[in-house]
Amino acid sequence: MSDAPRGNLHLLEDPEFKDLAHRKNRFSLQLTGITLLLYYGFILLIAFKRDLFAAKIAGNITFGIALGIGVILACWLLTGIYVRWANEKYDAMVARLQEKAKHGS
């Protein structure tokens, strides 16, 4: 068994690691909250405002269909926002910590 993982336990106490974990958790929880609001808001509207969903907005397209597509697109957008954040910020912070672990500082 390798001693490398045990040798880097000090990184768990590193302020940079704690900041990384805090930022990731805060950002992902915010996006999760928005996603849950979108989905549950949609379901609650279906449950309590069924007639609203039947309203035609253009030809055979109802408000419910348009709103459902909007929810899906919004969730794709939120996923894209997370991926961009992870690629630009999170991955750079992880790389710095990996370098720190390699050099034992």
Band (8; pLDDT cuts 50, 70, 90): low
Where do the structural domains in the chain lie, given as residue ranges? Answer: 26-103
Confidence of residue 71 (pLDDT cuts 50, 70, 90): very high
Q: What is the DSSP letter of 59?
A: T
User: Number of C-alpha atoms within 13 angstroms, CB side, residue 97?
Assistant: 20
Confidence at residue 104, expressed as pLDDT on a 0 to 100 scale:
66
pLDDT at 102: 79
Cβ-Cβ contacts under 8 Å for 78 (sequence gap 6 or more): 31, 34, 35
pTM: 0.75
For residue 45, what pLDDT is reported? 92
- Specify the DSSP element, H or E, that contains 56: strand 56-58
Query: Which whole number is the average pLDDT over 35-51?
Result: 94
Residues 77-95: pLDDT tens digits?
999 999 999 999 989 888 8
